[in-house]
Structure 1
């Protein structure tokens, strides 16, 4: 079941578009948005939260345009999970969670803390008295307070050490709530998301089942992201090409960094089906074959 859907959405700040003509559904099993900083992931998440109005295209909430939806119901169904620093340092933990609850339901604070694996007695403390992992669990508890259908998580484990990350991921994987995960961490998206979309320079360049997409990337950029992950006991990954080059203004935006760039890449590629995935690359078949050979 689709909770939210972007239909040919272009987003920007002022008159400058930064996300271009993106269409994707947030469906069951978790959806990941993958890409480097500046790829448009957080901007797209802001549009899904109703915090940014599209320059063109539409965001659909069920069968309704988000522009015309009942926002009280929407805010209950769709909740953001920010990083732990979002907690107000002046408020006690219990008060921070209770803010989201009707007055008659504020006795549920202890129950929500237990749901995320915390001692209810922590409700009397302030954020600075908790560890980073505990604060992140509080942020999740606050989002769960209204019983949402969908959590939108923006790098929820980025500031945590690996053992705490594992506990947070276990918690998220065990929730019944659907999730949209914005991340550059491929291990996290593989754990939590059935489907993933890779963004580069504000455009979706590859979409499909997460396992297949990471096992044999059909877009050179997806492969570059995968190959940049350090492997335990191995040599650090070697950067290839102009990794900091700005996106090309015409044609394929990735062509200035792409090892497979060819004359046809001066024409912008459209998303097309390649092996059960949607890929925006003229040479996707060669990229997928090369990725399988390396794997």
Structure 2
């Protein structure tokens, strides 16, 4: 049984949908949600955390609709890991980590800090007295305090320097909990997630095993994201298509930016299997795969 699943979920704020008809399974080995800012990644994560109710469709948790799940058990099992700025600047580190612990277990604060590679003596400090990497590890320690089955990670390394990022990724990769990762950083998703979903304008445009998806994209948008990553010692990346164009209101939403767009793209493509374990919503997927 899949622990967490979205079934044809549409989400929005007020009457304006921003995520459209998304289906997603949390599979073993971690799942990544990839896409640029505004693609709907964080909105979908909010629904998985029970913070946003779908306009249509359902979120399922352990075989039951999320709205019918035991809220206390769900909050223990599924923990968010936001960026380090989520810490309350007025609270000492020990108090922040202990928030989710029963009073009888608050002696575990030092143990949790050590688990994420921090000196227990930092428990007496406030967030502004720690580095960005230390604060991010405090956020992870706080999430681990309740023994979660799933961590929902929203850009957990975006504000960190490269050496600190490496330590955080090693830490996350070594945890027992499953991972749902929201990111635009392809190196991070490749390190932490076996499966990935690529979102554009609130729609899944490609999904499949992360390594294969990034090595040989089946959608022009996935290929553009990959090719935009600078490579050490290589030429600067070139923009692919009209990067400033807004999503198309009809047909394929990516067609106004797509360098491969043809007349057929005025008809909305279905998300279909294009290779073993790979799905793409693109009329030109065969050409992209080569």
| TM-score normalised by the chain length of structure 2 | 0.99
> Please, which runs of 5 or more residues in structure 1 have no aligned partner?
290-295
What residue is the counterpart of 1:292 in the other structure?
none
Question: What are the superposed Cα offsets for residues 45-91 of structure 1, whole Å, 9 maximum, x if unpaired?
Answer: 00000000000000000110001110000000000000000000010
Rounded Cα–Cα distance in structure 2 between residues aligned with 1:146 and 1:191: 25
What residue is the counterpart of 2:44 in the other structure?
44
Residues 23-172 of structure 1: pairs in structure 2 closer than 5 A = 23-172=23-172
Contact residue 240 and residue 258 of structure 2 kept, 8 A: no
What residue is the counterpart of 1:283 in the other structure?
284
Rounded Cα–Cα distance in structure 2 between residues aligned with 1:235 and 1:284: 27
Rounded Cα–Cα distance in structure 2 between residues aligned with 1:161 and 1:136: 12
Post-superposition offset of 1:240: 3.0
Rounded Cα–Cα distance in structure 1 between residues aligned with 2:41 and 2:99: 28
Rounded Cα–Cα distance in structure 1 between residues aligned with 2:244 and 2:38: 12
Post-superposition offset of 1:269: 0.4
What residue is the counterpart of 1:233 in the other structure?
233
Rounded Cα–Cα distance in structure 2 between residues aligned with 1:70 and 1:189: 30
Question: What are the superposed Cα offsets for residues 135-192 of structure 1, whole Å, 9 maximum, x if unpaired?
Answer: 0000000000000000000000000000100000000001011000000000000000
Rounded Cα–Cα distance in structure 1 between residues aligned with 2:6 and 2:143: 23
What residue is the counterpart of 1:293 in the other structure?
none
Post-superposition offset of 1:241: 2.1
Rounded Cα–Cα distance in structure 1 between residues aligned with 2:252 and 2:23: 18
SS at match of 2:2: coil
Kindly indicate whether residue 197 of structure 2 is the aligned counterpart of residue 197 of structure 1: yes
Question: What are the superposed Cα offsets for residues 240-287 of structure 1, whole Å, 9 maximum, x if unpaired?
Answer: 321011000000000001111011100100111011201100110101
State the number of aligned residues: 289
| TM-score normalised by the chain length of structure 1 | 0.97
Rounded Cα–Cα distance in structure 1 between residues aligned with 2:269 and 2:227: 23
Rounded Cα–Cα distance in structure 2 between residues aligned with 1:169 and 1:40: 24
Rounded Cα–Cα distance in structure 2 between residues aligned with 1:273 and 1:214: 16
Rounded Cα–Cα distance in structure 2 between residues aligned with 1:278 and 1:78: 27
SS at match of 2:197: strand
Rounded Cα–Cα distance in structure 1 between residues aligned with 2:179 and 2:259: 34
Post-superposition offset of 1:234: 1.1
What residue is the counterpart of 1:271 in the other structure?
271
Post-superposition offset of 1:35: 0.1
What residue is the counterpart of 2:222 in the other structure?
222
Rounded Cα–Cα distance in structure 1 between residues aligned with 2:231 and 2:81: 29
